[in-house]
């Protein structure tokens, strides 16, 4: 890469840097987006699995509780099929079975229904109640079952199944003096006489058909109620439930009262459930007859590194690598830019230093030319003439110094474009200046310069830059189109613009080369450029100068030759 190309690629390097940063940003955004989508999808899947596990645990706990309750129900049903209703037998049952707190037996008239009133249609048979005894029962069982005595239909309100007229067994739940009551009840019908004598029970047949002095059963419905031990129920439940759910927490609450707690309490000081940002709370209210029981399960959100955490680390690492690569590339481009700038500055300084002695050479060559012309005029009168070669040598010095001056000016404009100075000027004056500069050189190449320009075309522009542009165009004609024997400089105008067209009659340029004709350091590889020296920046500088004048250069093929038009605004 030459010094000039490095300098010209300064803007290109900046664009490449911007493109690189943009590409890196897009890659980072895409990676971040995919990572976020993956993490969110994984979190959603983990949450679904975790929630399913929690729900499974809650269902398991509920099944354990109701399995215990169902076992007690089956045991009571089996026992009642063979249980004697004698008071001593019922007392013995209560004493030996830890699941039972109290038993009551209530006789219903054969023609009475559970929802019949008044209460006198039903009679308590067990425990025995004497009319003169105010202390009915040590545990106040009569107070517990008083609502049932008043309205037996309370028993089947939650036990009525679809298709049943009235249930014959079920659960009864209530509260008495702040304590929960859980009772199982069953109705049986007897075919024997069943009545109570003044001194107790008359002799008859009991609930199971046994001979029983004191009983007389006859077409009677008997309601047996068994009050379960709440303590024994809780003991059985706690024995079956897993005690450790770490790191999660489990609670079983009954009407606000704590029945079971695995770890930290989920209820705050205000007796309300709380859930923090590090946990998620699940609740489940159990069905009847434990409808006042509630399972509270607090799932602790995992704080251990998971797959999405690893993914985040990997994505961060990739982003860091890309960022480091971007920094490395940026530093490399910066170094190249600095090196190119130093070389360009060096070339500019050298070109500037060359311009001063070259100006002196041109000045002295011009002075020598004038002296030679004066000497020729004197020599004619003295019959003495100078050799023609002296004039030729002097002309070569002038032409080559002008060529070298234009080349140095091109280099200076390429490295550091000069400031635009606008002045009002006639187009014909620009063409005359151009003709004075190039006419001798074109004649030396055998080229005829044809100028077509109206005298009244006026514009406001930088005349020196316009001349330099046209000089570069004519220089290319002199180098590559000298076989055409003619070159036209045509100036025309529109309402807003002035057009300078330089047209040659040489071999021309193939259409495929035209798009790259103004690129820096680009030379057409053909017979047209063989043996012709050049830097490849003449047309590039002409294009840059045209753009600095708010104009443009357009190359158009002709038959024969090529036409390059400079279009600039009038003002």
- Per residue in 255-281, pLDDT tens? 888 888 886 554 555 555 544 446 788
Range of lowest pLDDT (65-69, 347-351, 521-525, 528-532): 528-532
Residue 129's pLDDT is 53
Q: Tell me if 277 sits within 8 A of 262, measured CB to CB.
A: no
Q: What is the mean pLDDT of residues 370-387?
A: 66
Is the confidence at residue 499, as pLDDT, over 90?
yes
Is the confidence at residue 513, as pLDDT, over 70?
yes
Residue 62's pLDDT is 92
Range of lowest pLDDT (155-164, 187-196, 318-327): 187-196
Is the confidence at residue 70, as pLDDT, over 90?
yes
Alpha carbon separation from 139 to 122, 142, 144, 378 (Å, rounded): 22, 8, 9, 160
SS3 496: coil
- Per residue in 415-434, pLDDT tens? 666 678 889 999 999 999 88
- Per residue in 98-130, pLDDT tens? 999 999 888 876 555 555 444 445 677 888 654
Q: Tell me if 121 sits within 8 A of 109, measured CB to CB.
A: yes
Classify domain 417-569 at the CATH topology level.
Answer: Heat Shock Protein 90 (3.30.565)
What lies within 8 Å, CB to CB, of 321 at 6+ separation is none
Q: What is the mean pLDDT of residues 389-412?
A: 70
Range of lowest pLDDT (418-432, 438-452, 521-535): 521-535
Is the confidence at residue 466, as pLDDT, over 50?
yes
Q: Which two tokens stand for residue 472?
A: 């570069």
Is the confidence at residue 454, as pLDDT, over 80?
yes
Confidence of residue 293 (pLDDT cuts 50, 70, 90): very high
pTM listed for this prediction: 0.48
The domain segmentation of the chain, as residue ranges, is 1-49+309-414, 83-233, 242-300, 417-569
- Per residue in 319-332, pLDDT tens? 778 778 777 877 77
What lies within 8 Å, CB to CB, of 177 at 6+ separation is none
Is the confidence at residue 511, as pLDDT, over 70?
yes
Q: What is the mean pLDDT of residues 454-466?
A: 90
CA gap 296, 257 in Å, rounded: 12
Q: Between residues 489 and 333, which one has the greater pLDDT?
A: 489
Is the confidence at residue 566, as pLDDT, over 90?
yes
Look up tokens 């971040």; give the residue: 32
**DSSP one-letter string for 66-122:** HHHHHHHHHHHHHHHHH----HHHHHHHHHH-TTEEEEEEEEE-TT--TT-S-GGGE
Residue 93's pLDDT is 92
Residue 412's pLDDT is 66
Is the confidence at residue 154, as pLDDT, over 70?
yes
CA gap 53, 199 in Å, rounded: 63
Residue 218's pLDDT is 45
Is the confidence at residue 451, as pLDDT, over 50?
yes
246 sits in the region (left: phi over 0; alpha: psi -120 to 50; else beta) called beta
Is the confidence at residue 138, as pLDDT, over 50?
no
What lies within 8 Å, CB to CB, of 111 at 6+ separation is none
Q: What is the mean pLDDT of residues 463-488?
A: 86
Residue 51's pLDDT is 86
Confidence of residue 533 (pLDDT cuts 50, 70, 90): low
Residue 568's pLDDT is 93
Q: Which two tokens stand for residue 424?
A: 């009002």
Mean pLDDT of the chain: 75
- Per residue in 87-101, pLDDT tens? 899 999 999 999 999
Residue 161's pLDDT is 65
Confidence of residue 285 (pLDDT cuts 50, 70, 90): very high
What percent of the chain stands above pLDDT 70? 68
């Amino acid at each position: 890469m030459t010094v000039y190309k490095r300098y010209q690629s300064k803007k290109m390097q900046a664009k490449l840097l911007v493109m690189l940063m943009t590409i890196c940003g897009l890659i980072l955004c895409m990676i971040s987006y995919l990572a976020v989508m993956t993490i969110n999808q994984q979190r959603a899947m983990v949450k679904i699995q975790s929630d399913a596990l929690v729900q499974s645990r809650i269902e398991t706990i509920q099944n354990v509780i109701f399995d215990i309750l169902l076992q007690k129900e089956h045991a009571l049903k089996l026992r009642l099929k063979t249980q004697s209703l004698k008071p001593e037998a019922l007392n013995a049952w209560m004493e030996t079975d830890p699941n039972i707190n109290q038993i009551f037996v209530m006789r219903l008239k054969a023609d009475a229904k559970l929802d019949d009133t008044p209460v006198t249609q039903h009679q308590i048979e067990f425990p025995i109640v004497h009319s003169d005894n105010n202390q009915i029962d040590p545990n106040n069982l009569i107070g517990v079952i008083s609502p049932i005595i008043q309205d037996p239909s309370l028993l089947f309100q939650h036990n009525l199944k679809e298709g049943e007229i009235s249930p014959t067994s079920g659960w009864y739940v209530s509260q008495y003096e702040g304590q929960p009551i859980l009772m199982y009840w069953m109705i049986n019908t007897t075919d024997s006489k069943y009545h109570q004598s003044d001194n107790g029970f008359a002799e008859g047949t009991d609930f199971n058909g046994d001979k029983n002095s004191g009983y007389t059963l006859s077409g009677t419905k008997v309601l047996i109620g068994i009050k379960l031990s709440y303590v024994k129920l809780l003991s059985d439940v706690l024995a079956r439930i897993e005690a450790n759910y770490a790191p999660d927490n489990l609670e079983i609450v009954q009407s606000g009262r704590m029945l079971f707690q695995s770890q930290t309490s989920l209820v705050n000081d205000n007796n309300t459930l709380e859930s923090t940002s590090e946990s998620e709370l699940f609740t489940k209210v159990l069905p009847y007859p434990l409808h006042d029981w509630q399972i509270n399960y607090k799932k602790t959100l995992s704080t251990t590194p998971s797959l999405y955490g690893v993914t985040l680390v990997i994505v961060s690492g990739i982003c860091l690598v890309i960022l480091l690569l971007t920094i490395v590339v940026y530093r490399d481009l910066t170094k190249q830019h600095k090196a190119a700038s130093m070389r360009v500055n060096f070339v500019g300084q050298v070109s500037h230093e060359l311009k001063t002695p070259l100006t002196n050479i041109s000045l002295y060559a011009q002075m020598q030319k004038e002296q030679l012309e004066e000497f020729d005029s004197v020599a004619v009168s003295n019959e003495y003439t100078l050799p023609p070669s002296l004039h030729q040598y002097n002309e070569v010095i002038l032409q080559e110094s002008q060529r070298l001056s234009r080349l140095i000016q091109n280099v200076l404009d390429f490295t550091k474009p000069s400031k635009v100075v606008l002045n009002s000027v006639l187009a014909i004056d620009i063409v005359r200046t151009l003709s004075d500069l190039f006419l001798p050189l074109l004649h030396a190449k055998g080229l005829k310069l044809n100028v077509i320009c109206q005298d009244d075309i006026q514009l406001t522009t930088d005349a020196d830059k316009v001349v330099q542009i046209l000089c570069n165009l004519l220089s290319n004609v002199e180098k590559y189109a000298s076989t055409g024997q003619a070159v036209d400089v045509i100036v025309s105008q529109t309402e807003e613009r002035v057009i300078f067209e330089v047209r040659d009659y040489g071999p021309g340029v193939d259409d495929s080369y035209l798009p790259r004709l103004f690129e820096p350091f680009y030379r057409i590889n053909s017979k047209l450029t063989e043996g012709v020296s050049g830097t490849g920046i003449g047309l590039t500088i002409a294009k840059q100068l045209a753009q600095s004048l708010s104009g443009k250069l357009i190359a158009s093929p002709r038959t024969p030759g090529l036409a390059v038009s400079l279009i600039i605004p009038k003002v």
